[in-house]
Amino acid sequence: MNPIQKQDTEIQNELYAKFFHGLSNPTRFRIVEILLDGEKTVSELVDMLSVTQGQVSNHLACLKWCGYVSSKQDGKYVIYRMTDERVRTIVQLAKEMVSDNAAHISQCTRM
Amino acid sequence: MNPIQKQDTEIQNELYAKFFHGLSNPTRFRIVEILLDGEKTVSELVDMLSVTQGQVSNHLACLKWCGYVSSKQDGKYVIYRMTDERVRTIVQLAKEMVSDNAAHISQCTRM
DNA sequence: ATCATATATTTAGATATATAAATATATGTA
DNA sequence: TACATATATTTATATATCTAAATATATGAT
């Protein structure tokens, strides 16, 4: 593998890592779960999430850039929804794995 | 939903988030990719990864606690391998999604 | 135009994570 | 036992991320 290809691979890995980073925060994960159940406005999410509106908007921006969600203006509201059904499968598989490994994960202190 | 149930949900979300955190680092993601192709010793991974041996061991410890990999001693070597085939599907779906959204993700500066 | 509400962005400070180096432990071999 | 190699752990530091608050922008209503 030549240096240029190696660099490409590293850039790709950073993209994949960044993608998973989208789901690596409890609030963002919860937002994804909620939106998998149906579209919501920012206000509705704020009501459901016990975090500030600013945080919700920031998390949504993160999820949007990562391709998880998309948004549309609806009057003075902005409605967010899942962009891609593949996320449903990813989340479902992860939940299954976690429930099989919950004891271990809860003890994870590294990194 | 009563407070106790709510707390359970939050703990669950933290577990799921921690699980995805396992894949949210380029080196760890690369390790998972390599191990999906077959088991490897720590030394072999160090040779493939241009990071220090200490880092590789730490990343492996993280992946192990999160349930991605398991290890077995083999003489003075320790062999790591994927624990769960469901990871293969998760990684594959993520790659597909990323390739459909690469332009967006690379621009993501938030969080 | 002014105001109220919804959403987005920015800022500073706190916390978590990553990195590299040093050190410790464990296994096999002479 | 002493030594070499493989792996794990710890430490200090750098970097990234999260949180909360403040502020900015955008939309609809009066």
- Domain coordinates of chain A in residue numbers? 3-83
A16-44 average pLDDT score: 97
Residue B58 has pLDDT above 80, yes or no: yes
Judging contacts by C-beta atoms under 8 Å, the chain B residues touching residue A18 are 24, 105, 108
CB pairs under 8 A, 24+ apart, for A5-14? A10/B26, A13/B26, A13/B27, A13/B29, A13/B30, A13/B33, A14/B26
3-state secondary structure of B70: strand
At B3 the pLDDT is 41
B65, A104: Cβ pair inside 8 Å? yes
3-state secondary structure of B74: strand
Interface test with A, best of B33, B50, B90 (most A CBs within 10 A): B90
Q: Least CA distance to A66: which residue of chain B? A: B105
Distance A111 CA to C17 C1' (A): 6
Chain A / chain B CB contacts < 8 angstroms:
151
CATH number of A3-83: 1.10.10.10
B20-24 average pLDDT score: 97
The CA radius of gyration of chain A, in Å to the nearest whole number, is 17
At A10 the pLDDT is 83
Exposure on the CB side of residue B42, measured as CA atoms within 13 A? 19
Query: Please, are residues B44 and B9 in contact by the beta-carbon 8 Å criterion?
Result: no
Q: Kindly determine whether the C-beta of residue B108 is less than 7 Å away from any atom of nucleic acid strand D.
A: no
Which of A67, A104, A105 lies nearest to residue B97, judging by beta carbons? A67
3-state secondary structure of B41: strand
Return mean pLDDT, chain B: 88
At B102 the pLDDT is 64
**In the numeric block, which tokens belong to residue A14?**
């950073």
Return mean pLDDT, chain A: 88
Q: How far apart, in Å, are the Cα atoms of B67 and each of A31, A95, A99, B45?
A: 24, 12, 10, 18
The residue lying closest to nucleotide D27, measuring its CA against C1', is: A76
Q: Which of A73-82, B2-11, B74-83 has the lowest mean pLDDT?
A: B2-11
Question: ipTM of the predicted structure?
Answer: 0.89
What fold, for B10-83?
Arc Repressor Mutant, subunit A (1.10.10)
Residue A79, H or E segment: strand A77-82
DSSP state of B39: -
Q: Kindly determine whether the C-beta of residue B70 is less than 7 Å away from any atom of nucleic acid strand D.
A: no
- Strands B77-82 and A69-74 come out as unpaired
At A7 the pLDDT is 66
For residue range A67-77, list pLDDT tens digits in order. 999 999 999 99
Residues shown for chain A: 111
Judging contacts by C-beta atoms under 8 Å, the chain A residues touching residue B10 are 26
CA distance B102 to B52: 29
At B21 the pLDDT is 97
Judging contacts by C-beta atoms under 8 Å, the chain A residues touching residue B87 are 97
- Which residue type does A74 have? D
Q: Kindly determine whether the C-beta of residue A101 is less than 7 Å away from any atom of nucleic acid strand D.
A: no
Q: Which of A32-46, A75-89, B44-58, B97-111 has the lowest mean pLDDT?
A: B97-111
